[in-house]
Structure 1
Amino acid sequence: MEDKVILKLADAALKGDKNIGHMAVRQLASKVRTVNTSLYQKLTDRLQAFALRGIDANHKPLPVDSDTRQSLVRVEDPVVIDHEPIYSTDVGEAIEQILLERHHVEELMKEGLLPARSVIFQGAPGLGKTISARWLAKSLNLPLLTLDLATVMSSFLGKTGSNVRAVLEHAMSFPCVLLLDEFDAIAKRRDDDRELGELKRLVTVLLQAIDEWPSSSLLIAATNHGELLDPAIWRRFDIEISFPMPSLETIEKYLEEYWPEEASDGRAAKHFAGMSFSNIDRELRQAKRERVISSFNRRFNSDSFDEMQLPVDTELKSLSRDEKNKWIIKLFKEGESQRTIAGKVGFSRPTVKKVLEDNFLL
């Protein structure tokens, strides 16, 4: 047996580090595979049992705030996404590298390496940081746990640190992807005199957790304000990914994938230049709502409809249901009350109200 493997096993035992021990056992199994099949099988059985115990831990109760009893994490399992996120070339390559490392864990461990365990996303809001975390969880077939910042942050000294620690310990106990969104809220610079000592102590908790994070899980931190983070935080993450504002080419791809009806207009991408994905979505959804309402108004405000003459009550009550519905809309627009309309068309007042609601008039 090589000295390096023996030393790694010794380090794991002395430090109580599961990651080092797990990697050393895998390396040992690889080396004895052809010379000692019996030992190889026993080591393999232990590795499988270790993996199963990690999966069983997924059924542990979620951590909750001791005062409010509210859950400290939101769980998405399975993660459902219809479309792969649209990235710039650099971001796409970085995301693909994370997935490749996770899919080739055995090869990395044989060389004494681990896949990236922690990633930090930075960039302005609406550029795809959260959906990228969801996509990684989906691609790795792992549950996504998201720190619920509103519940975690407590007004009681010491509680916030305890809450964050509970979330981290829970996520480290089984394979998953943990997203620490709005990371700057809990990992601010320790030299910021405006912050309470409680938040400064949080940084120490986070530094320790990142260092001890298991290779079976992926830790993702996302921040809109990287300048607020403690400098020591940056050095702890294996990978740093910056999300830029989308280029015209990226916007075109985004429209083709998510808004194909808009992509047919070659001028659309230029119109959205300098905007984030979320702002593009918001503007397109608003435009679509306006088109729907405009279409409705044209349908019920045509000249021929406006010129319709109201028949006498007996004739109105004998009309078909569809014709009565049109008169309900016309009379309502002319200022008649629902009660009066109901009497004229021979419908109940709730039926009149339902017709108006169905046509966006209430």
Structure 2
Amino acid sequence: MDSKAILSLIDLALGGDPRTLRMHLHKIAVKSGRQDPEFSEKILSRLSASGLRSVQPVKPIPVDSDSRLNLVRVESPVIMEEAPIYAEEILALLDQVVLERNSASRLMAEGLSPAKSLLFQGPPGVGKTMTARWLASRLGLPFLTLDLATVMSSFLGKTGNNIKAVIDHASSFPCVLLLDEFDAVAKRRDDDRELGELKRLVTVLLQAIDEWPESSILIAATNHGDLLDPAIWRRFDLEISFDLPSEEMRKAYIKSYWPELTNHASDLALFFGDVSYSDIDRSLRKAKKKSILSEAKFINCITGVAESKPGNKVETKKKDVIRLAGEGMSQRAISTALKISRPTVKKIMDQHNECRDAQ
């Protein structure tokens, strides 16, 4: 090893920059592999031993000093029976994150780091939290969630201390840490309506993201990306935007999570329209309870259509068309829900409108 390389290592060690130091040592190990394989192997083994910390926390879970409640929720191991339903571009990004994490040593040998900080943004109920759990499950890491209700405090400086305690705890062992509702603690510092305490939180978070270890993943999720401080965006390795699921994604979701409705998946994907997964799930659970208690068909409870009585099917269908149209449902969706043609739906609506206008 030449004197220049040795001096660089000394500077890094004295400067307290373990991340860059590990990268330089990886490079040295790779370069010396051909000339001195034994020396190269010793360097890599030491790096591996120091980098693979126990997946079990070495510190107790931090608690709020007043309420004594845990500041973070822990799930380990993470068990998911069904994989989330993603658009192809989002799935490609998540697969890339997993690949980088599993190839961390190879990347670091070339002076590169695997993605360690992710920002999820999108409307509520589209799978941001589930995706964080899914990554933890794929990587075999504990899943930690910041308990925002416990962390937030009205006392000056208390919230910042709580968040710092959570981040210090999560940094002490490999894990996936989710900071949900991130906009509540990382708001724009130029917002005059916010207190100085919340503005100071941004500085705490910026420092935490910069110092986050490569052995773990920090995920921040927000429903309101426009509220985040501009400096926050630049700190994350990757930003993933989640949209409301498409018709095909809704269909796949119903088949995967509600297999008893597989035969109706196509119709229901159209029936629900542009809504989130959580909205679909909430509606299906409500309809399931109704079907059990009323002993009615599940599918009829979902669409809100009562079974027609013998001899009165035509009038019942007309009433159902008018009722569903009044609830804002499109003619196409009504046609799917009632299993009648769109021209028939249009004819019923035209007749209804004519009668209403005549009155």
User: TM-score normalised to the size of structure 1?
Assistant: 0.77
Counterpart for residue 71 of structure 2: 72
Contact 1:9 1:21 in 2 (8 A): yes
Counterpart for residue 175 of structure 2: 176
The Cα offsets for residues 251-276 of structure 1, whole Å up to 9 and x where unpaired, read as 11111111122231131110111110
Give, in whole Å, the separation in 2 of the partners of 1:142 and 1:56.
7
Give, in whole Å, the separation in 2 of the partners of 1:234 and 1:11.
30
The Cα offsets for residues 8-61 of structure 1, whole Å up to 9 and x where unpaired, read as 634532431221122222222222233223422432332233135x21762321
User: CA shift at 1:167, angstroms?
Assistant: 0.9
**CA 1:7/1:249 → structure 2, altered by over 3 Å: closer, same or farther?**
farther
> Could you say what secondary structure the match of 2:234 adopts?
helix
Structure 2 matches for 1:244-255, cutoff 5 A? Answer: 244-255=243-254
Give, in whole Å, the separation in 1 of the partners of 2:23 and 2:159.
33
Is 1:31 aligned with 2:31?
yes
Q: Which consecutive unaligned segments of at least 5 residues does structure 1 have?
A: 298-362
Structure 1: which amino acid aligns with 2:58? H
Give, in whole Å, the separation in 2 of the partners of 1:197 and 1:125.
28
User: CA shift at 1:4, angstroms?
Assistant: 8.8
The Cα offsets for residues 277-333 of structure 1, whole Å up to 9 and x where unpaired, read as 000000011111111111289xxxxxxxxxxxxxxxxxxxxxxxxxxxxxxxxxxxx
Counterpart for residue 148 of structure 2: 149
**CA 1:103/1:287 → structure 2, altered by over 3 Å: closer, same or farther?**
same
Count matched residues: 296
Structure 2: which amino acid aligns with 1:23? M
Contact 1:5 1:27 in 2 (8 A): no
Structure 2: which amino acid aligns with 1:125? P
Give, in whole Å, the separation in 2 of the partners of 1:84 and 1:93.
14
The sequence identity of aligned pairs, in percent, is 58
Is 1:63 aligned with 2:86?
no
User: CA shift at 1:229, angstroms?
Assistant: 0.5
Q: Which consecutive unaligned segments of at least 5 residues does structure 2 have?
A: 298-359
Counterpart for residue 184 of structure 2: 185
Give, in whole Å, the separation in 2 of the partners of 1:187 and 1:253.
35
| CA RMSD between the two structures | 2.0
Structure 2: which amino acid aligns with 1:206? L
Is 1:243 aligned with 2:242?
yes
Counterpart for residue 83 of structure 1: 82
Contact 1:11 1:20 in 2 (8 A): no
Structure 2 matches for 1:1-362, cutoff 5 A? Answer: 1=1, 9-10=9-10, 12-52=12-52, 54-55=53-54, 58-265=57-264, 266-295=266-295
Contact 1:118 1:219 in 2 (8 A): yes
> Could you say what secondary structure the match of 1:222 adopts?
strand
Give, in whole Å, the separation in 2 of the partners of 1:150 and 1:15.
38
**CA 1:163/1:280 → structure 2, altered by over 3 Å: closer, same or farther?**
same
Contact 1:157 1:198 in 2 (8 A): yes
Contact 1:152 1:164 in 2 (8 A): yes
Give, in whole Å, the separation in 2 of the partners of 1:213 and 1:248.
38
Structure 2: which amino acid aligns with 1:18? P
User: CA shift at 1:158, angstroms?
Assistant: 0.5
**CA 1:251/1:5 → structure 2, altered by over 3 Å: closer, same or farther?**
farther
Contact 1:99 1:136 in 2 (8 A): yes
**CA 1:154/1:4 → structure 2, altered by over 3 Å: closer, same or farther?**
farther
Contact 2:116 2:237 in 1 (8 A): yes
Counterpart for residue 315 of structure 1: none
Give, in whole Å, the separation in 1 of the partners of 2:200 and 2:184.
13
Give, in whole Å, the separation in 2 of the partners of 1:100 and 1:124.
27
Give, in whole Å, the separation in 1 of the partners of 2:10 and 2:119.
32
User: TM-score normalised to the size of structure 2?
Assistant: 0.78
Structure 1: which amino acid aligns with 2:148? L
> Could you say what secondary structure the match of 1:219 adopts?
strand
